[in-house]
Structure 1
């Protein structure tokens, strides 16, 4: 069996001391760049890999963050995960991903158990479903945890978009254009984000003294927006869809029905996905800064890792209404 290359092998190959190799392997900054590059090149040539577990025993850190996530296929979750990964990498941390199909007590507890075996310094939870707030969901003590988009939980640090302000801005924009009321295609009922957007839409109409139309519920997909678009009430002149994908399906349905956008019906989405500016017509929508949520979540978790758990914080990241050509006068 071949012997695993050691630091001594790297030191001999690079022509430096073992202490210098140790500094490079542990990410210390007191090594000049030319020497660092020579040591790294020697590591590659001899096949040496720093032992992260040994480093963790020495400095008390694994430089690894666990992420428990549900519904990885949804646009919001995938973009948020991408942002968390980028923010963690910028801080020198790697990500261990633990998807859960159904965020029940057993699934979440199992994910924490597997992450504990992977030796992570803390965990970010990205589960938007209502189950996370149920009393039977018990999170382990002692492990730093930050939650993204978790609705009702207030016993943990929470980072979220200002969903209510974004939905209010979308609804008010349509009212300001002269539409008598605004219809709504909501997201799935188990989603906190969908719930907050729906409640804010309804509250905005009520404050303005406008009729609140019946809510129709989609599943975040373009297909569900299309299906509801085909059945849209003939009197509707403005629709706020809870995400851009459902708005895309709605646009197709309206085109097929011969209802022009925005001439007959104005449409607003939510997310500002990259493709929204290239829909026909370009979609008015609510922009969410996924990068900022990722940075804030990782920053809050690192603060817990290094400083211990204090009072739970709630960080709200602003949203922004982006007006394009899919909305017009009512």
Structure 2
């Protein structure tokens, strides 16, 4: 529509009225388009966006905040950890935020830190955020605070009161069921579970999904094997199953523990998958390149983050609208060479 324009450093910055003039629409239409409001035709929306790009126009977020009473920012409380799951979810939130027009302000907590969540939330509220995302995977109990902005909680119950709470799940129980059912479908009589630490909501959900899958098939539920998410804990926990010929299938609550478990099995002379099949959880980048390549379930971090932020922004901008239920995340089982048919008796 419009050709890109150039201006000198001393030229005044383009204004919304300039965008309206170039696009041939009203300033109200420009405002609606740039604030991503409804009731604008696709033709008008395209004209405004093309004109804004041609002029090098940037929406003045500070002015918009004064006009709307919002800072156009969302606070995120996340566990400060290098573990694949929490770190990948935070990355997904950061990616999704780019499409919302809101800036992110992230505060990390530390496992075991007293009042970690409460202190992080108070810090974000002092910065005037319009909404808060709780991506805190550990059960700290009731944190004893309340907030006056909408809250998005990912994969856990809300730890405090808020005027509107949006909850989205990563489908941990569904993914765990899919992993367990895959092993049962291969003919294994039952599946052992190498679990994560039970203070983590994700570990509880994966444990529950494993139990449900076995119960639905009427299969025996072996004792849970405890782990702490690390490969070293998987290796240590794998010493028992490695010596037990009755163990033919193991579902590990994350890929790191599965990697440690496989090493313990191989060192004991148990072949994977001929003697013992192993399924992990997460699909970490290295999972496809270990020996044997690891069958696992892939967490839908980006899909969950986009769905959650979409609902949170709606709760912020339309506080009187009915809360829409989040869509269930997809289940993606990645079958590789670490699983195979149950060994013959």
TM-score, normalised relative to structure 1: 0.82
Higher relative contact order (CA 8 A, sep 6+): 1
Identify the residue that residue 269 of structure 1 maps to in structure 2.
280
Identify the residue that residue 144 of structure 1 maps to in structure 2.
150
Distance 1:10 1:304, change over 3 A: farther
DSSP-derived class of the 2:212 partner: helix
Instruction: Note the C-alpha offset of 1:16.
Output: 6.1
Identify the residue that residue 46 of structure 1 maps to in structure 2.
none
Q: Any conservation in 1 of the 2:300–2:329 contact (CA below 8 Å)?
A: yes
Instruction: Note the C-alpha offset of 1:70.
Output: 1.5
DSSP-derived class of the 1:317 partner: coil
Identify the residue that residue 292 of structure 1 maps to in structure 2.
303
Instruction: Note the C-alpha offset of 1:181.
Output: 1.6
C-alpha separation in 1, matches of 2:270 and 2:85:
29
Identify the residue that residue 329 of structure 2 maps to in structure 1.
317
TM-score, normalised relative to structure 2: 0.79
Identify the residue that residue 65 of structure 1 maps to in structure 2.
74
C-alpha separation in 1, matches of 2:52 and 2:166:
42
C-alpha separation in 2, matches of 1:14 and 1:144:
38
Identify the residue that residue 11 of structure 2 maps to in structure 1.
13
Identify the residue that residue 91 of structure 2 maps to in structure 1.
82
Distance 1:17 1:220, change over 3 A: closer
- Specify every segment of 5 or more residues in structure 1 that has no aligned partner in the other structure, as ranges: 1-8, 44-49
Instruction: Note the C-alpha offset of 1:268.
Output: 0.4
Instruction: Note the C-alpha offset of 1:327.
Output: 0.5
- Specify every segment of 5 or more residues in structure 2 that has no aligned partner in the other structure, as ranges: 1-6, 21-26, 36-44
Distance 1:279 1:122, change over 3 A: same
Distance 1:153 1:321, change over 3 A: farther
C-alpha separation in 2, matches of 1:209 and 1:299:
40
Distance 1:271 1:63, change over 3 A: same
Q: Any conservation in 2 of the 1:170–1:268 contact (CA below 8 Å)?
A: yes
Distance 1:152 1:212, change over 3 A: farther
Aligned residue pairs total 311
- Is 2:240 aligned against 1:259? no
**CA-atom RMSD in angstroms:** 3.2
Instruction: Report 1:132-281 matches (<5 A).
Output: 134-140=141-147, 142-151=148-157, 156-232=165-241, 233-235=243-245, 236-281=247-292
C-alpha separation in 2, matches of 1:34 and 1:62:
25
Identify the residue that residue 98 of structure 1 maps to in structure 2.
107
Distance 1:20 1:260, change over 3 A: same
Instruction: Note the C-alpha offset of 1:94.
Output: 1.8
C-alpha separation in 2, matches of 1:18 and 1:308:
27
C-alpha separation in 2, matches of 1:264 and 1:205:
20
Distance 1:104 1:296, change over 3 A: farther
